[in-house]
Structure 1
């Protein structure tokens, strides 16, 4: 009884410590939630402020543009009035000059006649004869034609006031304010030297025709386009390890030209070391990041291996081949290419490969054959052509002692996929391997392969 009483303070002290730790953990979690609330509030406030600025700028620009367009239209109509006035007034001016000339001629003739008649028929008989002869040469009965008012232009402006209602209806429907963009980034998955970005629609009423993905380093001020298309997933390559990148996506509605607002930027990074080919291998040249190998020599032979065992179980290893040569072989036939995986700890003995060939199958017996530890499998893969993608997926099946007749103690399940076809087999190894080398070889120059 006394022993139990002596332990009671220690139990109380332990319980007090646990309560303090729980309270500290609770306080930390509440602090995280407060920070999350502050971020959410900041996002609402900043996006609202930016939206106000965008709306004000847009409508100011719109007013300026509409005013300019109205001024230009007014100038055009006034010029039309000037042109019609000048073209139709000229014949009237010519007619007026003709009539005024006739009036002056008639007035001169009247004065001359009156003077001639004042002299009578005696001495001034010569003046009367001269006046009469002159008058006979003037066509006093010929009058110029003056157009009727109904036959000359009467300018007017036709202005349809209904345009105000049409414009008003369009203005009242112009622009919308959305509480969130129609698409958002759903998932960021790290890859060696890359990040897979997946996005999805969050607005069921929005029908997307195309998507546009951009990214930037968090230290940069400018986003750059990396994908435009109809897919909802894209792998962004040339990602430096342990560096934060921002990603954002927008969409274009069906039948529309403008893009939607950008999604909320998401930050992602890759902790995985990028895959690299071994530099200095005869017959191959590498890109600056050493993830692209170009076959540039047909004389040398052998397999080009990775610089380090950077492929781990549970990852997807991808080879993408393209042809950059104009040679007849590369134009007319698929690539004659061999790809291999080797265990890191037993690089010279543990070997599995996929090999594809079409022209002169001298090294292997059938296109797309898969060999495991030197034994050909029944299933085959399609031939590799320019743009073909071949992927390896490996998972550990057992890590125990296998039957010695099976020839191994460790088993890996390998899935090789190409062009919607796949081959699955179990690869038995004599010892465990935490990482793998990979390799490939091309038999024609002008082919290159990207690994990621």
Structure 2
């Protein structure tokens, strides 16, 4: 069949019959319900997995808690047994020494008291022997031959007169010679008993515990607190170690409840523990539970090689030397970030100068003699504060040896960032010697991190940064 234009016109082809029967509304609803149930089942399965993980984690926590109780109980038993064993050994040794000393005193008194009696005894025994001889001689003279009797009697009489038979040595009475005895005070046992019954205590937990670890560049600020309100702490003692097998080392002893531990490698775990000494006591309390702390912040470092400054081995301490060269010593990299606290601590001082500066800046600029310029905020050693080279009305106290100057910054306005310009505002807080100034610092471009720097006109200034 052809149309008016001569083109062949074919009749429309009937639609192909579907091989599947038409889906009824109830079947579609049933499938949707099944899909919904499957989705809910999958969500329930995932929730059950998460629930199981949380329960398993809590089981591990319970296991660690149980192990801590058992291990600490075993350690406490060992400490108590060893202490009382040492105490008994020491007490026995002291008692033996005291007994020996008292027996020696008895020996000395006995010997010194017997000595005059021995001398008297020798004298009496000598007199008895002489009297025996005289008796024998007298009896021989009386009973002898008549012819020799007169001569013997005469000699005997002369000898008897010479011996002085009426002179007798004095023998001391019993009340005049020593009668040794021991005076032993029975109250010693009562005193010892009372002291022993009060000696030692067992605590379920140490009186102080570690509370918080705050990351600092190249360090960790460790805080601790009392958990026993009845314990009056006089001093605290903080220790740390780098690996579990190494011994703990003292890092702080003092009255403050926190301490900034410096010179720590980033991304390395350190174990800390703390104990306390009660008011008026000499012994330290038990150690707290050891906890692990770490810092992920690289340490602040000064740039090496500037002629006017000498650096420590860790490059966190700068000393203005005798060189005539003058300029700004910058940080090695822009390692100060908003939200952190940057601290300068003055270790030693030199002659101050109005051009001296401690502060932060957006970029390094060679050739400047001070940070008292644009794109920088700083404090002079006389306490003057400069913002983009302009001196503020508010001042801080002049720095002295041991002074700390801290910078805290937070972003308060973040405008468009570009090298051509922008609107980037920081809220700056500078503190020194319990005083602070707060102001807004506007930069012409956004800065994710900042450099720090210092400049001193005269030698002798030494500053630590952390």
TM over 0.5: yes
Output the TM-score relative to the length of structure 2. Answer: 0.89
Which residue in 2 is equivalent to 1:214?
239
Please say if residues 240 and 273 of structure 2, whose CA atoms lie closer than 8 Å, have aligned partners that are also in contact.
yes
CA contact (8 A) 1:343 1:350 kept: no
| 1:96 paired to 2:115 | no
Q: Aligned partners of 1:211 and 1:272: how far apart in 2?
A: 27
- Equivalent residue for 2:184, pick from 159, 172, 179: 159
The equivalent of 2:38 in structure 1 is 13
In structure 2, the partner of 1:134 is 159
**Aligned match of 2:4:** none
The answer to whether 1:383 aligns with 2:398 is: yes
- Higher mean displacement: 119-128 or 210-219: 119-128
2:361 alignment partner, one of 336, 342, 356:
342
Asked if structure 1 preserves the Cα contact closer than 8 Å seen for 2:304 and 2:311, the reply is yes
- Counterparts of 1:413-452 in structure 2, within 5 Å, are 413-452=427-466
In the aligned structure 1, how far is the partner of 2:36 from the partner of 2:457?
A: 75
**In 2: Cα distance, 1:374 partner to 1:134 partner:** 129
Counterpart pick for 2:376 among 330, 352, 361: 352
Match of 1:264 among 285, 289, 293: 289
For residue 143 of structure 2, what is the aligned residue in structure 1? 118
- List alignment gaps of at least 5 residues for structure 1: 358-366
How far apart, CA to CA, are the structure 1 residues paired with 2:182 and 2:331?
80
Matched residues in 2 for 1:336 and 1:240: separation?
Answer: 35
Note the C-alpha offset of 1:93. 0.4
CA distance in 1 between counterparts of 2:36 and 2:103 reads: 99
Give aligned pairs, total: 433
SS in 2 for 1:412: strand
Paired residues of 2:375 and 2:443 also in contact (CA < 8 A): no
Cα deviation code 1:187-236 (max 9, x no counterpart): 01111100000000000111000000001113542111111000001000
Change (3 A) 1:138 1:211: same
Instruction: From 384, 388, 410, give the equivalent of 2:424.
Output: 410
The residue correspondences of 1:224-303 to structure 2 (distance < 5 A) are 224-303=249-328
* 2:414 corresponds to: 399
1:315 corresponds, among 317, 340, 343, to: 340
Equivalent-residue separation in structure 1 for 2:33 and 2:364 (angstroms): 57
Deviation per CA, 1:251-298, whole angstroms, max 9, x where unpaired? 000000000000001101011111111111111122222111121234
Q: Which runs of 5+ in 2 are unaligned?
A: 1-24
Cα RMSD over matched residues?
2.2
1:120-151 superposed Cα distances (whole Å, 9 cap, x missing partner) = 76542111111111111111111111000000
Give me the whole-angstrom Cα distance separating, in 1, the residues matched to 2:355 and 2:195. Answer: 61
SS in 2 for 1:450: strand
Structure 1 residue 27 and structure 2 residue 52: aligned? yes
Query: Paired residue for 2:70?
Result: 45
1:169 aligns to what?
A: 194
Q: TM-score, structure 1 length as denominator? A: 0.91
**Greater CA radius of gyration, 1 or 2?**
2
